[in-house]
Amino acid sequence: MAKDRFAFKWQPWANLQAFYAGVFILMGAIISYWYPSMMFAGINTATALIILAFETPFPGFNRLGFVSTNLYLRALLYLAFIVPGLPQAPTHTGVLCLFCAAVTYLWAAIRGEPEPPKPKGDRPARA
């Protein structure tokens, strides 16, 4: 199915979704420093930065072997990252977007799409 060069790949969209979700979570985490329990602010800041590092991709984060290339693992990791964002309101939107991103990654993994391309790799196709 994915052999055709022109077939739609879900991975680039999942990448963008996760990137935006990371930005939203980071913003929410910064706001939640003023909320009663600072612990969540700290955890969410960390998860957001990890997401951004994977999705940018920050140099080095695409060379962690299995951890950075396997899409199933990434989907599961993002599903886990949803949990600390749930207790406080500012991170809710980011968590919802992260859920969408995780589902899209899972779908890409099920379809057997290859690992995310290296930054200089793909040239986008034209209509």
Residues forming the site for other proteins (CB under 8 A) = 6-9, 12-13, 15-17, 20-21, 23-24, 27-28, 30-31, 34-35, 89-90, 92-93, 96-97, 100, 122, 124-127
Closest contact distance (angstroms) between CB of 13 and other proteins is 5
For 31, 117, 121, the CA distances from 99, given in Å and listed in that order, are 21, 22, 27
Question: Which one, 24 or 109, has the nearer CB to other proteins?
Answer: 24
| Distance spanning both ends of the chain, measured CA to CA | 19
H-helix or E-strand spanning residue 48: helix 38-55
Closest contact distance (angstroms) between CB of 72 and other proteins is 21
